[in-house]
Amino acid sequence: MGGFSGFFWMMGLLPVLGIAAIAAAIWYGVKKAKATPAQAATEPPAPQEEALRKMAHIAYGLYAAAVLFPVTAVAGVILAYLKQNEAQGTWLATHFRWLIRTFWFMLLWSAIGMVLFFAMVGWLVFLVAALWYIYRVVLGWVSLAERRPMRMKGDAAPVAQIGQQG
């Protein structure tokens, strides 16, 4: 009977640990977003830039909703693909690229988690992937709200200069 009560104790602990891990991912995403230098706001944004920014907000919202309704991430990545070319040469292009990469890597980690689920480690892959996904959505959305570009490995120029190249 001791093992059975230990199981129930563990089942009560798992949601608490899950909530703590989600809170840590959100906190770290916000902290990381604040560390990125902001765009120099010398003039008001152009109407096209503002429209693209609203589309990026919608895409991040769809990604956030995917935690409960996964199909919304598909709508978000389609939106990101549709707006990616319009955003070329602006700081917003980094956000659409960030969204697209987040979707495909999450899909990859989910597939790996499903394969490993039968080996009893898939749940761990799902947990890490979910925390990574939440971190990416929070980091991106906070950076977008503060008009900060996303920094990604492999960029030829510092991201803060992308919109200033000409």
User: Could you report the per-residue pLDDT of 116-128, keeping only the tens digit for each?
Assistant: 988 888 889 999 9
pTM above 0.85, yes or no: no
Q: Whole-angstrom Cα distance, residue 131 to residue 95?
A: 19
Q: Tokens at residue 15, please? A: 């949601």
Residue 102 CA to chain centroid, in angstroms?
A: 6
Mean of pLDDT values over 31-40: 59
Residue 130: in which H helix or E strand, if any?
helix 122-145
Q: Is it the case that residue 8 has pLDDT exceeding 50?
A: no
Each domain of the chain, given as residue ranges in start order, spans 46-146
Q: Is it the case that residue 151 has pLDDT exceeding 70?
A: yes
